[in-house]
Amino acid sequence: MRFFIVDDDEAICTMLTEIIEDYDLGKIVGTADNGATINNDLLDLKEIDILIIDLLMPIRDGIETIRDLGTSFRSKIIMLSQVEDKEIIAEAYSLGVEYYITKPINRLEVIKIIEKVIENIKLQKSIHDIKKTLNILDYEKKESSSTNTTQKKTILDSGKFLLSELGIIGENGSSDLLSMLQYVYKYDDKQSIKADFPALKDIFTNIAISKLGSNASSSEITKEVKASEQRVRRAISQCLTHLASLGLMDYSNEKFEEYSSSFFDFTEIRKKMLELENNTQTSQSKVRINMKKFVKVLYMEGKKRINSEYR
């Protein structure tokens, strides 16, 4: 099972992570300290099975967050809180909360409740599988629908997943990077880029023209290109910082091992790790960002992910 924890208390997040991992209940694929930092797109990308969320948090509390997620969020929800107000608890259940755990957390209670939720998920899956088996026509229809859904997966879907994995899906430059992926994908469809990846200047310029329209003046296009370059560079820099932070905390971290050496030169990763370790000011940074390498690897990884869907 894949868990996402939302709680402003770091100690609670740590405790829940230890319980879930120590008892082999599943894998923690993400955490947040308030509800304002999560949405349906993020949770879908993370393929969440169970969302554990605190009721009282700064910026946006648990009730508001669940209400914003709406009925389109199909995964199970467990709510945590010190509040025992019956009306609030009733509202939580009415919004789709599966179980309610009162703080302070009791290890045995948490294990028991999570096991019940997992059992419910498995039961629902079994019922779904039985229905498909008993109705061949319905089964074929759903298989066809599933195939069509797979075929609709695009470079944009792959890009969103990768940017989420790299910790920059919420950065301003993420939209620019996704537009770049779409442009390169169309370019690659017309002529192979194995020998010649398109120049970044051409990519930025064509995207700017597409965004502003063919009637845009050269000065407007130049302005948009520069702004887009800055947003992308900041996003890549944030990605480098994110991966370097993971490496500092745990050198064997899966994401650090998988992405750091492919998206960045190892020497630059080491420089950023030393900067973070020594708390060096960003303005003094000597780390160099290879934008073209990042975009090229992002595209290749995105394309690889699309191709794997058809195997």
246 in any annotated domain: yes
Does one domain contain both 115 and 173?
no
Residue 107, pLDDT score: 92
Shared-domain flag, residues 302 and 162? yes
User: Does 44 fall in a domain?
Assistant: yes
Does 114 share its domain with 222?
no
* pLDDT tens digits along 230-255: 999 999 999 999 898 888 888 888 88
Please give the average per-residue pLDDT across 44-50, as a whole number: 92
Q: Is residue 130 a part of any domain in this protein? A: no
Residue 86 domain flag: yes
- Residues 293 and 169 placed together within one structural domain of the fold: yes
Is residue 24 domain-resident?
yes
Are 116 and 160 in the same domain?
no
Q: Is residue 191, in this structure, part of any structural domain at all?
A: yes
Same-domain check for residues 89 and 228: no
Domain co-membership, 166 together with 23: no
For 36, residues 6+ apart whose C-beta sits below 8 A from its C-beta are 59, 60, 65
Q: How confident is the model at residue 226 (pLDDT cuts 50, 70, 90)?
A: very high
Question: What CATH code is carried by the domain that includes residue 37?
Answer: 3.40.50.2300
Grade residue 296 by pLDDT with cuts at 50, 70 and 90.
very high
Residue 263: closest CA among 282, 239, 228: 239
Is there a contact between 51 and 77 (Cβ–Cβ < 8 Å)?
yes
CA distances from 256 to 3, 247, 262, 287 (A): 20, 6, 10, 17
- Going by pLDDT thresholds of 50, 70 and 90, the confidence category of residue 141 is low
Q: Identify the helix (H) or strand (E) that includes residue 100.
A: strand 99-102
How many domains are contained in the chain? 2
The answer to whether position 78 is within a domain reads yes
User: 291, 296, 308, 264: which is closest to 188 by C-alpha?
Assistant: 296
Is residue 147 predicted with pLDDT exceeding 50? no
Q: Residue 276: its pLDDT value, please?
A: 85
Quick one: pLDDT at residue 285? 64
**293 three-class SS:** helix
User: What domain range is 264 assigned to?
Assistant: 155-309
Note the pLDDT of residue 215. 87
pLDDT digits (tens, 9 = 90+) for 51-76: 999 998 888 899 999 999 988 888 99
Does residue 287 belong to any structural domain of this protein?
yes
Residues 109 and 204 occupy one common structural domain: no
What single DSSP character describes residue 197? P
